[in-house]
Amino acid sequence: MRKLNIIEYPNIDKGRIRLKSFCTYNYSYVPSDDLLLKLKNKKYFIKTHGCQANIRDEETLSGLLNSLNMERVETKEEADIAIINTCAVRENAEDKVLGEIGEFKNLKAKKKDLILCICGCMVGQPHIVNKLTDTYEHVDIIFGTHNIQDFVRLLDIYIKNPGTRLVDVSSKSGDIYEDMPSLRVNKFKAFVNISYGCDKFCTYCIVPYTRGKERSRDIKDILKECSELVKQGYQEITLLGQNVDSYGKDLNSNVDFAYLLEEVAKLGIPRLRFLTSYPSDFKDNVIDVMAKYPNIMKYLHLPVQSGSDSILKKMGRRYTKEQYLDLVKKIKEKIPEIAISTDIIVGFPNETYEEFLETVDLVKQVGYASAFTFIYSPRKGTPAARLKDDVSYETKVKRFKELVEVLEVDVNKYANSLIDKVIPVLVEGPSKKDPNILTGVSEANKIIHFVGDKSLIGKIVNVKITKNHVYSLVGEMINE
């Protein structure tokens, strides 16, 4: 067995603790000359799983490695440093990652100097770190979501003691690091963190343990980042937080999410979005700001998780079906063209068919433009994972399929409503299937395919919708 240097080991109980305050630091680590010399012009590979929070972390990791004069590559075979940025939200996501880490074994046998790093939410869990250190000996560095700012320091330690594996995963409630270097994945769409972590502790969810306390960035830091993106010609900004609606609650000021949203909208970014909204924290003043600014997309991701009051209560979600429906009604009254999407979990422990049908009923009443549906996956250390469950997996799969069929009716209806309409589309790139076709996204995040020149990539163009393929649409570009 190779030697193991444990700087800090994850601890789920510590991850649950919420300290009152947090600190904001400016990133300032200076790499050693040895590290700079060793990594200069070397290559790195990053594979990211999970949500936008992980994508944003990937951009920071890329920025850090670029500052060491390294170059990004798209295949692991070319890499001198490989990073797998993991997600822990459901078991199937974790299984995929473990498979991927396993695949590195052969490569590492051939390329002994390759430094394999595992980071992200999965390694915030002690049982996963145990598994990696016990049975995946080819993994070199394990670091957590609270240790991104330590990455270069860890590389410095690693090259001084080559062969000694490193584990540095803090489970502290979390601080904020500003001024980290960053290399954006996309040249015209950007994610901007407005807050980190989550304090909601929905009973099924691992995120509050792996990402720590909810902490809001100072508004001036957010506005500075957004202004720079506008100056650089970015077309779209998505403001990110596990619960954007509670933005500012932890700051000693009267800044709230609606205020922040309006200030960002005023910077003149062509498209502004935000993710994710928590129904009972969503305030009316956000609806007013959305309605007032044409550059705020008339699209809202409003996860409901379940339509049953008893299940919502067991999930620790702090609203009822009626309150959710009232909120949707209020939003639709003020913004009739709004497209709403959601997340739903099917098969929470002991969910009855009647409770499931409450979700089906809610879905029919809302009429979602799109939806993400998941089968409940027990997450070790969360309260729901301790519940005994008398519903079989087969029953859950059956209900899942039933729900998807119901959802598809409205998704299809929404897509049909776009036929013959001319809508603005942000062109993302050539279509994966046909390089002569362009792919873009509508205001409501619908995928649109149309014939057009590659020079349009990164621009917003008008497209007349001609065909509906339910999850994507086809159109023709309209020249003005």
Report the nearest approach of ligand F3S to the CB of residue 457 (Å): 28
* Cβ-Cβ contacts under 8 Å for 436 (sequence gap 6 or more): 430, 451
Within positions 53 to 82, which residues make up the interface with ligand F3S, using CB under 6 A? 53-54
Query: Which of ligand SF4, ligand F3S, ligand SAH, none does residue 90 bind to, with CB < 5 to 8 Å depending on kind?
Result: ligand SAH
Tell me the one-letter amino acid at 233. Answer: G
Residue of the chain from 27, 136, 177, 201 that contacts ligand SF4 (CB under 6 A): 201
Q: Which is nearer to ligand SF4, 170 or 276 (CB)?
A: 276
Report the nearest approach of ligand F3S to the CB of residue 128 (Å): 12
Residue of the chain from 143, 278, 282, 319 that contacts ligand SF4 (CB under 6 A): 278
Q: Does 50 bind ligand F3S (CB under 6 A)?
A: yes
Q: Does 205 bind ligand SF4 (CB under 6 A)?
A: yes
Query: Which of ligand SF4, ligand F3S, ligand SAH, none does residue 88 bind to, with CB < 5 to 8 Å depending on kind?
Result: ligand F3S
Question: Site mask, ligand SAH, residues 293-332, x = CB under 6 A?
Answer: ----------x-x---------------------------
The closest alpha carbon to 61, from 149, 170, 124, 165, belongs to 149
Residue of the chain from 133, 210, 242, 246 that contacts ligand SAH (CB under 6 A): 242
Between the CA of residue 372 and those of 191, 221, 316, 340, what are the distances in Å? 20, 32, 20, 12
Size of the site for ligand SF4 (CB under 6 A): 10
Q: Does 147 bind ligand F3S (CB under 6 A)?
A: no
Within positions 83 to 112, which residues make up the interface with ligand F3S, using CB under 6 A? 87-89
Query: Which of ligand F3S, ligand SF4, ligand SAH, none does residue 53 bind to, with CB < 5 to 8 Å depending on kind?
Result: ligand F3S
DSSP labels for 352-421? -HHHHHHHHHHHHHH--SEEEEEE----TTSGGGGS---S-HHHHHHHHHHHHHHHHHHHHHHHHHTTT-
CA distance 33 to 49: 32
Q: Which is nearer to ligand F3S, 212 or 440 (CB)?
A: 212
Closest CB to ligand SAH: residue number: 343
Block residue for tokens 């900004």: 237
Q: Which is nearer to ligand SAH, 48 or 377 (CB)?
A: 377
Six token digits for residue 121:
């939410």
Q: Does 374 bind ligand SF4 (CB under 6 A)?
A: no
Burial bucket for residue 97 (CB in 10 Å: 0-12, 13-18, 19+) = buried
Q: Does 340 bind ligand F3S (CB under 6 A)?
A: no
DSSP labels for 140-187? -EEE-GGGGGGHHHHHHHHHHSTT-EEEE---S---EEES-----S-S
Residue of the chain from 48, 195, 243, 377 that contacts ligand SF4 (CB under 6 A): 243
Q: Does 345 bind ligand SAH (CB under 6 A)?
A: yes
Q: Does 207 bind ligand F3S (CB under 6 A)?
A: yes
Tell me how far the alpha carbon of residue 177 is from its chain's centroid.
19
Q: What is the dihedral of CA 166, 124, 215, 150, to 10 degrees?
A: 10
CA distance 79 to 42: 8
Q: Is 425 helix (H, G, I), strand (E, B) or coil?
A: strand
Within positions 348 to 377, which residues make up the interface with ligand SAH, using CB under 6 A? 374, 376-377
The closest alpha carbon to 414, from 291, 334, 345, 332, belongs to 332
205-213, 393-401, 410-418, 420-428 -> range binding ligand SF4 (CB under 6 A): 205-213
Q: Mutual orientation of helices 353-366 and 393-417 as an angle, nearest 10°?
A: 10
Six token digits for residue 145:
């979501």
Q: Which is nearer to ligand SAH, 125 or 243 (CB)?
A: 243
Q: Is 210 helix (H, G, I), strand (E, B) or coil?
A: helix
Size of the site for ligand F3S (CB under 6 A): 13
Binding site for ligand SF4 (CB under 6 A): 198, 200-202, 205, 207-208, 242-243, 278
The residues that touch ligand SAH, with contacts defined as CB under 6 A, are 89-90, 204-205, 207, 242-243, 276, 303, 305, 343, 345, 374, 376-377, 379
